[in-house]
Amino acid sequence: MQKLLLTTLLFLFPILSVAQSQSMTIEEAIQTSLDNNYQLKQAENTRDLSDTRVRSAQADFLPSLNASFSGSRNVGRQFVQEDLSFEDRTTYGLNGGLNANITIFDGFTNISNLRAAQADQESEQLSFQRLKESVMFDTASRFLEVVLNQELLKIAESNLEASTSQLERITAQVEVGSRPTVDQYNQESVVANDELAVIQRENALEVSMGRLVRIMQDESINQVDPVMPTVDELALMPLDLDLQEMISAAMEQRSDIRAQEYDIESNFQNYRIARGQHLPTISASAGFNGSYSDQLLDPITRETVSFQDQFFDQNVRRNLGFSIQIPIFNRWNTRTNIESARVQLRNSELAMENVRFQVTEEVRQAYNDYQSVVKELESTEKALIAAERAYETEQQRYEVGSSTLIELNQANANFVQAQSNRIQAVYNFVFQEKLLDFYIGQLDNEFQF
């Protein structure tokens, strides 16, 4: 029974292993991150809350309306007006009313409050957009890191296979006496180093895979098989860029700059609200109230007047009025609030200066990195062609005995390094193009290469 269970598990293990690896394009990885990222969900909740605050600020222009209703039961000695005497009685009474109040002038507080809420709403929306771009960019970066590590692992495995084959040939030649034994020992050392390189590349791939899975935050995904165009299929045409135009575009398009502009507007409106506390407040009110008492008697029939006649006719009170409140002295609280609002406004303006400086530096750094990567792309292509030819030539020389194994291994190492440098230069070039879009603020939702 145990043997059967073990056999079944061994049979299912490859299937389970395959099920854990999911083929995924970079667009699908980004969409998964956007769907699951908790920071985006929090930002979306905050954005929805800002919408509610705008509606609340708009409603402040409307009148308030309140209804009230109360009842009473009094037991004990009471004065009876009809008999002009005191008696022990139990009386019942009801009171109800409807009151409205509207603010006519409050030092422009309602207007400023609405404008501040609208500015906060726009700021939250733009901050949400920038966070979304950051999630897209981080996911794409980790996706490319996985792809790059896969390519580097393939190079390391191919190199290990070649060095192992070389060891087999040298061993056979040593056995027949055509090669010295030291060549076999040297090649065994090379194979061991190549095996170590494969292990290191496998570990780097696992680490990058874990980082990609973690940012997608999907428990059903344990491993990703990235689907991406090959190096030969990628468009490697350098762009003709102008640094000043890029900086100007970033200043206009970056959502974090525009969000900071709305923060300044919000703080300016809060400053106006604080200054408005010096101005008077004018409000108007209107009300309708009615009451009922079981002690109210009809003077002719001596019967209790009905509820309808009392509440809606005889005991009806209507009021209409207005009030003006003029601030004279409030223990310098208004002055403190104004100064606090002024400091908040100034700090937001200073923050804008810092954001602009940071954006300028990010764009300039991205521009310089892109120019450097373009040069690396050209030089690594030349270096790869030269290293491949040198390795092939050295291999032919070694086969005819005009070169040593050390020279052959050195040529092979140079060729492997040139391959690695070329792969890294290609993916760095692709990454730097998207990095430019990210820092300029024109990263598309469709992240394609």
pLDDT of residue 443: 77
Q: Are residues 178 and 251 in the same domain?
A: yes
Q: What is the CATH number of the domain that holds 369?
A: 1.20.1600.10
For tokens 């070694």, the residue is 398
The neighbour count for residue 246, using CB atoms within 10 Å, is: 19
Averaged over 398-412, what is the pLDDT? 84
Structure confidence by residue, pLDDT tens digits, 162-196:
899 889 988 988 888 888 898 889 889 999 999 99
Is there a domain that residue 448 lies in? Answer: no
Is there a domain that residue 13 lies in? Answer: no
Q: Are residues 135 and 238 in the same domain?
A: yes
Q: Are residues 140 and 194 in the same domain?
A: yes
Cα–Cα distance, 92 to 371 (Å, whole number): 91
First to last CA, the chain: 54
Residue 298 clears pLDDT 80, i.e. is over it: no
Find the DSSP H helices in 37-108.
38-59
Q: Are residues 185 and 293 in the same domain?
A: no
State if pTM tops 0.85.
Answer: no
Total domains in the fold of the chain? 2
pLDDT-wise least confident of 19-28, 42-51, 103-112: 19-28
Collapsing DSSP to helix, strand or coil, 90 comes out as strand
pLDDT-wise least confident of 2-11, 112-121, 224-233: 2-11
The DSSP-derived string for 255-308 is HHHHHHHHHHHHHHHHHHHHHGGGS-EEEEEEEEEEEEETT-B-TTT--BPPHH
Q: Are residues 343 and 377 in the same domain?
A: yes
Q: Are residues 267 and 318 in the same domain?
A: no
pLDDT of residue 222: 85
The residue segments making up the domain with residue 435 are: 23-46+110-279+332-440
Q: Are residues 344 and 388 in the same domain?
A: yes
In what helix (H) or strand (E) does residue 64 lie, and over which residues does it extend? strand 64-80
pLDDT of residue 431: 86
Q: Are residues 175 and 84 in the same domain?
A: no
